[in-house]
Amino acid sequence: MSMQRPLRRGVQRTALLGAGALLLGAFPVLTAATPASAAVPGKVSGAVQTTNVDATSVNQNQYLAKTDVYLSGGPNNTSAHFLAEGDYFFAILVPGGQSDPNDGGDGNLSDPLGGTAAERSFHADGHGIATPIVGATNLALHPISPAGVIQAADFADTTNSGGVYLAAVCQYAPVANGTAAQHVVASDCKYDAFKVGEGVPPGTVQVAPAAEKTADPSHHRTVTWTLGKTVGGAASQTYLAPSKTVSYAVTATKSATETYGVTGTITVSNSNDSPLDVIISENGLSPASTDSCTLDNSTGFLTVPGKVGLDPGQNSVDYTCTFSSAPDTSASYTNTATVTYDLGDGLGDQDLPVASNPFDFPAATLTAGSDPETISVNDAFNGGTAALLSPATASDTYTWSYSRTLSNSNCVTYPNTATIVETGAHASASVTLCGPNSGGLTMGWWQNKNGQALLKANTAAACGTVNGYLPALGSHGALNYLPDAYTSAKSPASAYYYDSAACTTLSAKSYLPTFDLNVFSVAAAAGTGTKMVEGQWLTTALDTATYVNSSSAGKPTLSAGQKVIIPSALQTGLGLATCDTVGHLLTASAGQYSGYASSKTAITAALIPLFTAINQSQAQTCI
């Protein structure tokens, strides 16, 4: 850092010296004032002296500030030659020459800063007591202290080469409107001289300040990674197929924000013995950038909007620069400020430029808490162990693409979740694959010894399931071909129909096992038409029963709630949905076999292949 010396600039400055004041009266203020005198202005009788706020100083002639100047009507003792009783006004003048105490007069420093003569008027009672004039709105700018003396401030700076001021007290007689005094003759007034600014006598030229500046550049980067996953271009897919190769995409998106800043301290040294008024302004970076720099008064002094007194010694103020766009990281910068001051040498304001040492912006430092620059992603399929995707790392936005071939029965949903290892951010996609149904057994299986044995061991369960699909058909259902062993007990009209009550009351060997053999043999012989529909219907109904007693030969496991794709002819003819359950299909198609061969041939043609596919575990499932 280097100390800077000033360049001069011709700008008018505010006076260096502080404000001062003059007051009258040596005793406490009275609560009521004497009526104003009507005398025509004339010579002042008695003494006038400058004093301090509590009137303890007699004829004081040196002050640190203008606000310290008060005016007294004589020393505070019984033998003093006080001002004669009457009304007066005061004015602060430049001594020497033809200074005029009247408003508008040459050398009158109280006009206009201290108001008009009327606003500087007071009453003296002849005993050193000064009070406001009754009925007048005077002394608003010049209060009377508890000691009975009047503050003289504010008044302009003297032009006297020795820094001397002159306090004048003249008789006051207002004109008709009560706003101004009659014109007085200067020789009729009383005077007392004084100086303001003991540390810096008026006219003294001060020494220029020195300044230095630090600059600490910063460059921070905030990184955020987000993760997305799709299958077939969407978050989820459903496929109706026994097997399917599906395509996945995992995209890690990187976003980064970079911020720049400059902080530092401006130190201004005042080598004078008294304060020096200055203004400090922050200019920003050179060469020009998009920075915005502000001063921070919490650690020193803030000089905006006007000058402040800079104490002797070193005075520091911090500053901060922020940026609306990135600076040129390849350039070298300095940060500049200006200290404006006036030495009191008549040359007005002078500028002291102060610049930091050159600097450039460092490489970015990751902001605390931000994501890393490089990440890896793992992928877990269907609850399995997560494995890293290849390539193993990514330092910028990247999409991993891969596929899987799925095969299954029924409808199965496969979840798939990808996770950023370093941050834990994750994204999922799922595939539902609906293959063929499972658990069906064919008409031939039920005809062989394994099927017959299963029926005989679970008669109640099998009959109850079949009966459940025929609730509207009564005890004599529409299933044909009652077994021969029971024919003699029935009349010819009903001899060949399924009896739901007999199925559950007769022994297993005498009814259901034999009944299904008769139905299946006729269906196999016919091959098509209503007999085949009846045979496949009965096969599917038996496939959905629950068989508690079974052997190693196996049993069907088809669920009545399994959904399958329904052909359009059955949707229209039987009122089924596009995707409907096996149980609903059995109930809707039960007891209508006799009509399928004539008016409902389309239904017959659709039912045979659908039941056949279900019983062979080949029907297309759905959800």
DSSP3 helix / strand / coil % (the chain, rounded to 5): 20, 35, 50
Angstrom distance (rounded) from CA 542 to CA 534: 12
Q: What is the 3-state secondary structure (H, E, C) of 52-63?
A: CCCCCCCCCCEE
- 236-255+372-434 folds as Immunoglobulin-like (2.60.40)
3-state secondary structure of 321: strand
Tens digits of residue pLDDT in 134-144:
666 667 788 88
Cis peptide before 201 (omega within 30 of 0): no
The CATH number of 210-222+256-365 is 2.60.40.10
Do the Cβ atoms of 335 and 292 come closer than 8 Å?
Answer: no
Any idea which residue has 């001899």 for tokens? 495
Q: Which residues contact 186 (CB under 8 A, 6 or more apart)?
A: 98, 99, 100, 101, 168
Q: In which band, very low, low, confident or very high, does the pLDDT at 29 lie, cut at 50, 70 and 90?
A: very low
3-state secondary structure of 226: strand
Cα distance from N-terminal residue to C-terminal residue, the chain: 78
Q: What is the mean pLDDT of residues 578-582?
A: 98
Q: Provide the phi-psi class of 348: left if phi over 0, else alpha when psi is between -120 and 50, else beta.
A: left
Q: Indicate whether 273 pLDDT > 90.
A: no
- Strands 313-323, 243-270: pairing kind: antiparallel
Q: Indicate whether 53 pLDDT > 90.
A: no
Please indicate whether residue 98 or residue 144 has the higher confidence score (pLDDT). Answer: 144
Angstrom distance (rounded) from CA 141 to CA 146: 16
User: Which residues make beta-bridge pairs with 341?
Assistant: 278, 350
Q: Indicate whether 41 pLDDT > 90.
A: no
**Is-same-fold flag (210-222+256-365; 236-255+372-434)?**
yes
Q: In which band, very low, low, confident or very high, does the pLDDT at 14 lie, cut at 50, 70 and 90?
A: very low
Q: What angle do CA 110, 113, 115 make, to 5 degrees?
A: 75
Average pLDDT score over the chain:
82
Structure confidence at residue 12 (pLDDT): 29
Q: Indicate whether 271 pLDDT > 50.
A: yes
Please indicate whether residue 283 or residue 421 has the higher confidence score (pLDDT). Answer: 421
Angstrom distance (rounded) from CA 596 to CA 583: 20
Q: What separation in angstroms does the CA of 226 have from each of 220, 252, 423?
A: 20, 6, 9
Q: Indicate whether 86 pLDDT > 90.
A: no
Q: In which band, very low, low, confident or very high, does the pLDDT at 118 lie, cut at 50, 70 and 90?
A: confident
Structure confidence at residue 9 (pLDDT): 34
Any idea which residue has 């003569």 for tokens? 117
Which amino acid, one-letter code, is at 157?
A: D
Sheet holding 49-51, edge to edge: 49-51, 70-72, 150-151
Environment class of residue 369 by beta-carbon count within 10 Å: exposed (0-12), middle (13-18) or buried (19+)? exposed
Angstrom distance (rounded) from CA 496 to CA 483: 8
3-state secondary structure of 621: strand
- Strands 365-366, 216-231: pairing kind: parallel
Rank 184-188, 192-196, 340-344, 426-430 by mean pLDDT and report only the highest: 426-430
Structure confidence at residue 7 (pLDDT): 36
Q: What is the mean pLDDT of residues 142-160?
A: 87
Which amino acid, one-letter code, is at 148?
A: G
Tens digits of residue pLDDT in 463-511:
999 989 887 555 445 566 544 445 445 555 455 677 777 787 766 556 7
Q: What is the 3-state secondary structure (H, E, C) of 406-444?
A: EECCCEEEEEEEEEECCCCCEEEEEEEEECECCCCCCHH
Q: What is the mean pLDDT of residues 448-457?
A: 92
- Give the start-to-end residue ranges of the domains of the chain: 17-202, 210-222+256-365, 236-255+372-434, 443-615
Q: What is the mean pLDDT of residues 344-368?
A: 90
Q: Indicate whether 240 pLDDT > 70.
A: yes
Q: Indicate whether 132 pLDDT > 70.
A: yes
**Is the model's pTM score more than 0.85?**
no
Angstrom distance (rounded) from CA 527 to CA 507: 30
